[in-house]
Amino acid sequence: MIVCILAGALVGLLPVLRSTAGLLLVSILSAVGIYRFAFIGYVLVNLSAYIFITGLAWLSMRSAFVQRNRWRASCAAMLALLLVFLAGRYYQLETRGVAVKGLNLFFFSLNMWAFLRLITLLWEFGSGRIERPSLRSFMIWVGLPFTLIGPILRYSQFEKQLPLISTQADEPARYRQSLRRFLVGFVQLSVGMLLTGFQFALVESGNGLPRWEKLVIGFSVAPWSFYLLWAGYFNFMESLAPFWGITLPPSFNRPFGRRNLSEFWANWNMTATSVFRDYFFYNRWGLQKANLYVNTLMVFLMVGLWHGLNGYWILFGLMHGIGFCAYLWYSRNRSRLTLWRQNLIDSQFRYTGPIATYLYVCSCWFLPPTILKLIR
C-alpha cells in the first residue's frame, strides 16, 4: 500500500513522469517494490504470456491461420497456465528461491491476481476482443501498482483509457471524489485492523476457546475484519488510480445485508467475480447445452481452487455452489409452488433473506475445518 501511495503521489506531483516512459519506469519500480526478490519470476511469467500472444498474432496474419485456430491456441495456453498455477500452489514454487551471490532469488512468481489477469489477457486476445498490445503498454499494465494485488483491470478496460494521464485527471471534482474514497478506505482499514487485533487477542488469550466464543468470532468478528481490510485496501487503489488518469472498476459494494447469494456475489470482490462469471459460467463443460446447476458448481469450485489447492477452499467453493444452486432452483420454480406457500416464503424472505444469506456465507468460512475433521 505504501508503494501504491508513493506511485500515485509521484506521478500526480511530478509532471516529468506524466509520459508513457515515465509511467513505465514507475510501474517497473512499483513491481520491484512489491515483489522484491520475486520480481524476476514475475517478469518471466508475464513475458512468457506476451511472447505467446506475439507469436500467435504473427501466425494470425497468415491466411491459413484462421480465427478459430487462434481461439483454440489461446484455450490451450489458458489450460497450460491453469496447470502451472495449480502446480505452483501444490509444490509451493513461489517459496523456493535460488541463492545467487548471496541473494535468494525466485524465478517463478504467479500469485492468484497475476494468474487471473493473464487469463483475461489470453481470453480477450483469443476471442479477438483485443489485438496484441505493444510491449510498453503491456509492461505498464502488468506493473500497474494499483492492480498488482487486485483489483482485476482487464486489458480491454485498460486499453480504452489510453493514453494515460488525460486532462480529466486534473479536474478538481475528480480529485475530490478520490479523496472521499481514500478517506472511506482509511476508515475501513482502521476498523478492520482493530477487529483483526481483537480477534487475535481472543484466540491467544487462553489454551482453547469455548464453542460460543468460536461462533462469535466466526460469525461476527472474522467476516467483518476480512471484508473491511480488503474493501479498504481496494478503495485505496481506486482512489489512487485517477492520479494516473485511470478509473478502476469497483470491487466491493456493501455485500453484507444482501437478500440472497446472487446479490451477495454481485457485490463481493466484483472484478474477480465477473471474470469467473464471464469465462466459466457460460460454458457447456462437454454437455450438449449449458446446465445452470453444473455451471454454477464449476464456477464456485474454480473460485475455491483459485484461493488455494486444499480441502478447505474446495469445500468453501462447493458449499457456496450448493447454496447458490438452491437459490437458483427456488427462483426458477416459484410459479410451481402453491400461491399461499409462495406468498409465505416470499414475504418471510423479504425480512429474513439478508440474515439467512449472511449466516450461510459465514458458515462457508467457518464450517469447512469441522467438515474435514468429520471426513477424516
Work out the burial of residue 106: count CB atoms within 10 Å of its CB; fewer than 13 is exposed, 13-18 middle, 19 or more buried: buried
To the nearest whole number, what is the mean pLDDT of the chain? 89
Q: What is the DSSP string of 238-276?
A: HHHGGGGT--PPP--S--TT-SSHHHHHHSSSHHHHHHH
Band (202; pLDDT cuts 50, 70, 90) = confident
Q: Check: CB of residue 125 under 8 Å from CB of residue 53.
A: yes
Residue 76: predicted pLDDT: 95
C-alpha cell of residue 365: 468460512
pLDDT tens string 232-285? 999 999 999 988 889 999 999 999 999 899 999 999 999 999 999 999 888 877
Q: What is the pLDDT of residue 360?
A: 96
Please name the residue ranges forming H helices in the chain. 2-13, 20-35, 39-60, 67-91, 112-126, 135-143, 155-160, 172-203, 211-216, 222-240, 261-266, 270-276, 292-307, 311-332, 339-366, 368-375
Higher pLDDT, 167 or 47: 47
pLDDT at 229 over 80: yes
Helix (H, G, I), strand (E, B) or coil at 21: helix
Q: Label residue 150 left, alpha or beta by phi (over 0 means left) and psi (-120 to 50 means alpha).
A: left
For the segment 120-134, the average pLDDT, to the nearest whole number, is 94
104 strand-pairing partners = 99
**Per-residue confidence (pLDDT) for residue 167, from 0 to 100:** 47
Query: To the nearest whole percent, how much of the chain has pLDDT over 90?
Result: 65
Q: How far is CA 56 from CA 156, 218, 363, in A?
A: 18, 48, 45
pLDDT tens for 314-333 read 999 999 999 999 999 988 88
Predicted confidence band of residue 350 (pLDDT cuts 50, 70, 90): low
DSSP 291: -
pLDDT of residue 358: 96
C-beta neighbour count of 11 within 10 angstroms: 25
Give the range among 25-39, 53-67, 84-98, 143-157 with minimum mean pLDDT: 53-67
- C-alpha cell belonging to residue 199: 480477534
* Whole-number pLDDT of residue 335: 72
DSSP 278: I
Distance of alpha carbon 360 from alpha carbon 375, whole angstroms: 21
What does the pLDDT average to over 209-215?
Answer: 77
- The pLDDT confidence band at residue 171, using thresholds 50, 70 and 90, is low
For residue 275, the tally of other CB atoms under 10 A from its CB is: 19
Check pLDDT > 90 for residue 80. yes
Residue 21 clears pLDDT 60, i.e. is over it: yes
Torsions phi, psi for 63 (to 5 deg) = -65, -30
